[in-house]
Structure 1
Amino acid sequence: MRTICFYFQVHQPFRLKPYRFFEIGDDHDYWDDYSNRNIMNKVAKKCYLPMNQLLLELIRKYDGKFKVCFSLSGTVLDQMEAYAPEVLHSFQELVATGHVELLNETYGHSLCALKSETEFKDMVSLHQEKIQHHFNGYKPKVFRNTELIYSDEIGAMVAKMGFDGILSEGAKHILGWKSPNFVYVNSIEPKLKVLLKNFRLSDDIAFRFGEKTWTDYPLTTDKFIGWLNQVPQEDEVINLFMDYETFGEHQWKETGIFEFMKDLPGAIFQQTNFSFSTPSEVIANASPVGQINVPTPISWADEERDLTAWLGNDLQDEAFDRLFELENMVKRCDDPEIYKDWRYLQTSDHFYYMCTKFFSDGDIHAYFSPYESPYEAFINYMNVLSDFILRLKQAEKAKA
């Protein structure tokens, strides 16, 4: 078996509006509807709609031999419902071909697996309901945690929820001499299969494609095919995992990214012995080669491939801890609006904006942040959280 597994993360957060201290207690509307709508429509035009159409044409052209998979966060699905129903329809059309797999994840694109198993299960159930609602009862078999965050314990929780497999990062410090181009199993629950991202080949497309200072620029189809053919023949699966916004948003149309993707499947069929598979097909057809031991959580972010993009500095940890101190209060109050805001406040992007890293990773964080500084992101978030706490206390008092 020699196959390629394309996985695309599709996510947009609900961004907070500028929320000042003196608004606490008076304004319970936290979300920047103008920015969220505009960004969704911009990305829809530049990425989602043209790329979905391209993938649909490729699936039809190759009679289903070309396959991909998506993980659509609950927050992006909510935004598609509100701002861009034509985008949601285009994803439904792709899934209806039978050659596109959907993955389960946390509804709010949350870091809750690191804090609360109960909330983690609730978030996964909410996301599954959302997928079933929009995609004709579809029930995902494979899981993708927020930002590919994975550890032995997280994998064990996912296995208990009945999933066959999980996606994660092929981090060097975890793999050592091992290759990411095989199927592994969770070290606690071996029934859970683990697919690991080939970060070099994935990032050549996702991050380096349009970088003119890269020594291998420009990345042509022939060059990429050459790299694939250099992969040892015994390697079974090349997992190409990336943000879907790579196409047209992070890598602009002018870089040639759409033409590259249009030509790639045909070149792979003609010039290599690779096929295309979805994660479920990889899990079904490839035998695991052993356990992967991940005692400390890994992710697909930054050079370290750890959690420091979201957690670790004083700002991030204070905000994250304060948020999850409220879990029991939120669930006792049983208010749909409060619970919705609670889910959206968990979205990992809020903590990403508070990252204080420097150099190349810091530049990436600054690119995605709507704030002038991590400190501004923290203050804005904590102002919102202060109001949210007041609402919770008022809801508890009303129930008493």
Structure 2
Amino acid sequence: MKTICLYFEIHQIIHLKRYRFFDIGTDHYYYDDYENERSINYIAEHSYLPALDTLLQMIKENGDYFKVAFSISGVGMEQLEVHAPQVLDKLQQLNNTGCVEFLAEPYSHGLSSLANAESFAADVKKQSDKMTEYFGRRPTVLRNSSLIYSDDIGLQAAQMGFQGMLTEGAKHVLGWKSPHYVYSCSEAPNLKLLLRDVKLSDDISLRFNNHEWNEFPLFADKYVDEIAALPKEEEVINIFMELSALGIAQPLSSNILDFLHAIPACAKQRGITFSTPSEICENRKSVALLDVPDTLSWVDEERDISCWLGNPMQREAFDKLYSIADRVRIANDPRINQDWDYLQASNNFRFMTTKPSNVALDRGIYSSPFDAFTNYMNILGDFMNRVNDLYPDDIDNDELNSLLTTIKNQGDDLQMKEKEIERLQTKISKLQEEEESLRATIAKQKTKAAGTRTTAKLRTAKKAEPKGKA
């Protein structure tokens, strides 16, 4: 039986402010708060809230027949917490239906999987902890930033304990194979792979409102008919996109939400179900190993990482950033960690691209890729100085790690000794209380004994008195 796995990504760009060379060392705040608030409120109003309302209505109308999955970056969650908490309320309502799954992804929505295994693991764990805190269930399926994947990344995902991972059904990887099956990582066969159907996903997220598209207008029954017409043995149809496609990339005036709302009824008529990623991983067997020696993603025609690391500027910024990854992780300073998350975000490197693209790229405050590179490197220069000021750069990572481990161990020893002192003080207090109680008991007994002796003397004296004359 065919099943649709519908997944949406929620991520919010953290906009950097204009930062000059002469700001280095004097200004340690890097963000455009006005633009961050303006942009997320606009997206929430024109996309997130109406789209989530529609999905909630679809669940209420269809019960547990309709299911959907989300992955939310940690930095996106932070922006929602500050500027649009009503979106989180909607996500909580969806979570309460039991028909929604929340996936793991890097907290920063960054490229740590391409640079530093320890940073990647920490990035994913931090986001998974946040998902568990908000929605009460720890993710079991991983979705890397922009569906970035390779055999090595899959192996690490398996070592981190995930049962499945989402990635792109890229033609140069699949060849003659279909994306409508469950595959496994060639380096870790226990990790199942769900591959995005590029055409069916992009028909909604990229082409739906394109009047020059030869399939325009697209109706729900026609869309589901295309799925139903797939070969019988091709049973898993993965439709992945950004949630902002519903309302931003495809405006609400295009009736995109009416189209989405009609899909479950059309699918039910044709005997097609809906499943979450974890349900597919648990209930469907893998048909083959998938070899992905070179890294792929869902971005641009090449479906690779060239949009982030395709020119010398991007690679220099990337290498410079991750040259201090170990020091940032070892230092574990709260303010440094927050800036680290924001500076890792993949859009910072995307703004530096010189590639032509079919998808419009809004560079925001930047007039050119070089402008984006210059601004980012100024900020990165200040950030690196702060990291080195925290722990001098003449101490190498191994020495720093050893030093901080020693400090941590000493702190643990002090904590243990403090607990032991507290335990002994409690014991002393208890003994003192017992001693005081015993003293009180003894004093009481002495008083009682003294009273007894006095009574006895009085009785003896009374008996010894001579009897009166008649």
Q: What is the TM-score normalised by the length of structure 1?
A: 0.96
CA distance in 2, matches of 1:313, 1:395: 32
Q: CA deviation at 1:331?
A: 2.9
CA distance in 2, matches of 1:370, 1:201: 33
CA distance in 1, matches of 2:318, 2:170: 25
Moved more, 261-270 or 174-183: 261-270
Gaps of 5+ in 1: none
- Deviation per CA, 1:149-182, whole angstroms, max 9, x where unpaired? 0011100000011111000000000000000000
- Is 2:228–2:272's contact at 8 Å kept on the other side of the alignment? no
CA distance in 2, matches of 1:177, 1:331: 43
Paired letter, 1:333: A
Q: Does 1:333 align with 2:328?
A: no
CA distance in 1, matches of 2:326, 2:227: 50
Pairing of 1:124-273 with structure 2 (within 5 A): 124-135=124-135, 137-270=136-269, 272-273=270-271
Aligned to 1:348: 346
CA distance in 1, matches of 2:332, 2:94: 36
- The 3 A distance-change label for structure 1 pair 182 and 332 is closer
Select the structure that is richer in helix: 2
Q: CA deviation at 1:35?
A: 0.7
- Is 2:352–2:369's contact at 8 Å kept on the other side of the alignment? yes
Paired letter, 1:390: N
Paired letter, 2:382: D
CA distance in 2, matches of 1:281, 1:81: 29
CA distance in 2, matches of 1:72, 1:161: 19
- Is 1:221–1:260's contact at 8 Å kept on the other side of the alignment? yes
Secondary structure of the corresponding residue to residue 95 of structure 1: helix
Q: Does 1:122 align with 2:117?
A: no
The percentage of counterpart residues that share the same residue type is 45
Aligned to 1:66: 66
CA distance in 1, matches of 2:300, 2:365: 19
Q: CA deviation at 1:233?
A: 1.1
Moved more, 73-82 or 278-287: 278-287
- The 3 A distance-change label for structure 1 pair 283 and 386 is same
Secondary structure of the corresponding residue to residue 300 of structure 2: coil
CA distance in 1, matches of 2:271, 2:239: 17
Q: CA deviation at 1:101?
A: 0.4
Q: CA deviation at 1:83?
A: 0.7
Secondary structure of the corresponding residue to residue 184 of structure 2: strand
- Deviation per CA, 1:329-350, whole angstroms, max 9, x where unpaired? 3234332101110111111110
Aligned to 1:46: 46
CA distance in 2, matches of 1:116, 1:329: 12
- Is 2:208–2:217's contact at 8 Å kept on the other side of the alignment? yes
- Is 1:236–1:286's contact at 8 Å kept on the other side of the alignment? no
- Deviation per CA, 1:103-123, whole angstroms, max 9, x where unpaired? 001110011011111001111
- The 3 A distance-change label for structure 1 pair 207 and 368 is farther
Structure 2 counterpart of 1:380, from 344, 351, 375: 375
Secondary structure of the corresponding residue to residue 353 of structure 2: coil
Gaps of 5+ in 2: 394-399, 404-470
Q: CA deviation at 1:132?
A: 1.4
Q: CA deviation at 1:367?
A: 3.1
Of structures 1 and 2, the larger Rg is shown by 2
- Is 2:4–2:273's contact at 8 Å kept on the other side of the alignment? yes
Q: CA deviation at 1:219?
A: 1.1
Of structures 1 and 2, the one with the larger relative CO (CA 8 A, separation 6+) is 1
- The 3 A distance-change label for structure 1 pair 331 and 225 is closer
CA distance in 2, matches of 1:26, 1:329: 22
Q: CA deviation at 1:369?
A: 4.6
Q: Does 1:395 align with 2:390?
A: yes
Paired letter, 1:373: S
Structure 2 counterpart of 1:287, from 285, 288, 293: 285
Paired letter, 1:152: D
Paired letter, 2:280: V
- Deviation per CA, 1:198-222, whole angstroms, max 9, x where unpaired? 0011100010001111111111112
Moved more, 195-204 or 334-343: 334-343
- Deviation per CA, 1:89-138, whole angstroms, max 9, x where unpaired? 11111111110000001110011011111001111111111111211x31
- Is 1:168–1:196's contact at 8 Å kept on the other side of the alignment? yes
Q: How many residues are treated as equivalent by the alignment?
A: 395
- Is 1:354–1:375's contact at 8 Å kept on the other side of the alignment? yes
Moved more, 323-332 or 29-38: 323-332
Q: RMSD between aligned alpha carbons?
A: 1.5
CA distance in 2, matches of 1:10, 1:370: 22
- The 3 A distance-change label for structure 1 pair 87 and 210 is same
Paired letter, 2:377: M
Paired letter, 1:208: R
Q: CA deviation at 1:21?
A: 1.3
- Is 2:75–2:341's contact at 8 Å kept on the other side of the alignment? no
CA distance in 1, matches of 2:349, 2:14: 13
- The 3 A distance-change label for structure 1 pair 333 and 285 is closer
CA distance in 2, matches of 1:369, 1:22: 22
List structure 1 segments (4+ residues) > 6 angstroms apart after TM superposition.
none
- Is 2:148–2:296's contact at 8 Å kept on the other side of the alignment? yes
Paired letter, 1:308: S
Q: CA deviation at 1:259?
A: 0.8
CA distance in 2, matches of 1:230, 1:172: 20
- Deviation per CA, 1:314-373, whole angstroms, max 9, x where unpaired? 111000000001113323433210111011111111011111012x43x52x23654221
Q: What is the TM-score normalised by the length of structure 2?
A: 0.82
